[in-house]
């Protein structure tokens, strides 16, 4: 599984991103990522952003397995079950690109 993550927007407009390929991770790390993806329940592509929150932080997650799923959430519409995955990805994201 490959995961691309981009955080953008917010008051400062800072862009952070990362790309994770579970094939190159150690077993325990790979299991952690896979568990977080499953728990997040991201199974279909969607864009779920609030029209009233112009300065909200936006998260784009692309998950590539046998198919590709792309979701975009802002901090207001981010589902509770996806928050641990986003926290993990934010911990690996860096400024300026993947």
Dist CA 24 CA 40 (whole Å): 22
Tell me the domain boundaries of the chain.
2-95
Name the phi and psi angles at 92, rounded to 5.
-105, -5
| Other Cβ atoms closer than 10 A to 13 | 9
Residues whose CB is less than 8 angstroms from the CB of residue 89 and which lie 6 or more positions away in sequence, other chains included: 3, 5, 18, 20, 59, 61
Question: Positive or negative CA dihedral for 60, 76, 53, 46?
Answer: positive
Decide: helix, strand or coil at residue 6: strand
**What pTM value is reported for the model?**
0.90
pLDDT tens-digit profile of 35-58?
999 999 998 998 988 887 777 899
Q: How confident is the model at residue 32 (pLDDT cuts 50, 70, 90)?
A: very high
Structure tokens at 69: 């799923």
Residue 11, pLDDT above cutoff 80: no
Which helix (DSSP H) or strand (DSSP E) does residue 95 occupy? strand 94-95
């Amino acid at each position: 599984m490959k995961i691309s993550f981009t955080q953008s927007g917010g008051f400062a407009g800072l862009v952070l991103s990362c790309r994770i390929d579970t094939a190159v991770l150690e077993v325990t790390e790979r299991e952690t990522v896979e568990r977080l993806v499953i728990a997040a329940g991201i199974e279909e592509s969607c864009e779920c952003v609030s029209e009233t929150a112009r300065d909200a932080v936006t998260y784009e997650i692309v998950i590539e397995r046998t198919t590709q799923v792309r979701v975009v959430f802002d901090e207001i519409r981010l589902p509770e079950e996806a928050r641990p995955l986003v926290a993990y990805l934010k911990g690996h994201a860096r400024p300026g690109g993947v």
